[in-house]
Amino acid sequence: MKVLVTGHNGYIGSVLVPLLQSAGHEVAGLDTYFYKGCSLHGMTRDVPSLQMDVRDVQEPDLVGFDAVIHLAALSNDPLGDLDAGLTYAINHRASVRLARLAKDAGVSRFLFSSSCSLYGASGDDYLTESASFNPVTPYGESKILTEQDVSQLADADFSPTYLRNATAYGVSDRLRADLVVNNLTGYALLTGEVLIKSDGTSWRPLVHIEDISRAFLAALEAPRDLVHNQAFNVGQTAENYRISDVAEIVRDVVPGSRITYAGGGSADARNYRVDCDKIALTLPGFRPQWTVRRGVEQLYEAFQLYGLEEDDFLGPRYQRLKRVRELMDGGELEKDLRWRVAALAV
């Protein structure tokens, strides 16, 4: 298939695109390139792409593609809280507009990168795709609204699928240090502390970015009737952990590290466990290969190999919110997160 990946230059996209190419798909990208230059190892090759805000996509940009994989978004809860209005404008309204344009352009498959964050504050029970939503952030709510609105576009010619990713972790050239497994591992290596910023009791489903990428590939290649207008929790049911459990794994992997708790840490309102049996039963092509322990070992080895430094790990190079604020403070981004013309010309 000819596939357009929005957000292809980001954390997941940098891993997903080579996987799609290896499977024989022709891939193009569309990205704002906010994180250009923020690389871990600099070995990721770009693909033919458009540097474009997803809010500015036009129908001709989408003509000729068989599928759109839509990753582009304000990518986590802290960044989403920067301006709730922008979160809804980009993550919700622009996503629905993109789906509508894709349909008008003759694109038959639309894979939306949703999130288990839409379950929000949901307690200790395992949640299937039919569970109620209880988001606690604009980011989580934007995913619900997008799923609901895009589902209204589904018909015989346009088939959307919603992949509700568990919390991601793992090595990518566009590393994110603001994800819990990555953060705990990197901080332990740099400081000797596995620093928990909450009380550690909250549940979180966790999934490696390579397994997220495998889920997108499996959904893309699945018979249409199996995935048409369907939502899937992406991960493994066995890979739900309390944050304190993750900290213990990191302590065991990173020599000499110890678990500490930040002063004043309280229970995280985001607390949910998900059941991932549906994707395992529906998409036999999806075969996840990672556990959190293996992921922590991978991160620890990569951080040593590429010489992780504290300033980078805690600064704008690997922290999404800090990077966007850096671009805004430097006059490169407008308040609405559009590039200034002068910045694009550089």
Domain boundaries, the chain: 2-345
- Encode pLDDT of 55-85 as tens digits: 999 999 999 999 999 999 998 656 666 788 9
pLDDT: is 266 or 246 the higher one? 246
- Contact at 8 Å (CB) between 276 and 153? no
Give how far the C-alpha of residue 27 lies from the chain's centroid of Cα atoms, to the nearest Å.
19
Is residue 312's pLDDT more than 70?
Answer: yes
Alpha helices in the chain (DSSP H): 13-22, 77-80, 84-87, 94-104, 138-151, 180-191, 209-221, 224-227, 243-253, 277-282, 292-305, 310-314, 320-329, 341-345
The confidence score (pLDDT) of residue 77 equals 59
Higher pLDDT, 267 or 52: 52
Tens of pLDDT along 214-263? 999 999 999 999 999 999 999 999 999 999 999 999 999 999 999 999 88
Residue 47 has pLDDT above 60, yes or no: yes
Q: What mean pLDDT do residues 111-118 have?
A: 97
Average pLDDT over residues 128-139: 94
How many residues in total does the chain contain?
346
pLDDT of residue 346: 41
Tokens 């301006």 — which residue? 83
Following DSSP, what letter does each residue of 213-226 receive, concatenated?
Answer: HHHHHHHHHS-HHH
* pLDDT value of residue 345: 43
- What is the DSSP track for 152-184? TT-SSS-EEEEEEE-EEES--TT--SSSHHHHH
pLDDT at 235: 98
Is residue 260 within 8 Å of residue 196, measured between CB atoms?
Answer: yes
pLDDT, mean of residues 210-214: 98
pLDDT of residue 34: 95
pLDDT in tens, 313-343: 999 999 999 999 999 999 999 999 999 975 5
**Pairing relationship of beta strands 167-169 and 67-70 according to DSSP bridges:** unpaired
pLDDT at 76: 65
Task: Give mean pLDDT, residues 262-276.
Answer: 86
Which pLDDT does position 80 carry in this prediction?
60
Determine the pLDDT at residue 43: 80
Residue 69 has a pLDDT of: 98
Task: Report the relative pairing of strands 109-115 and 159-165 from DSSP bridges.
Answer: parallel
Question: In CATH, what number does 2-345 get?
Answer: 3.40.50.720
Query: Which of 21, 39, 9 has its CA nearest to residue 216?
Result: 21
pTM: 0.96
pLDDT for res 78: 64
* 344 pLDDT higher than 70: no
187-197 mean pLDDT = 96
Quote the CA–CA distance of 85 and 136 in Å, as a whole number. Answer: 15
Helix (H, G, I), strand (E, B) or coil at 231: strand
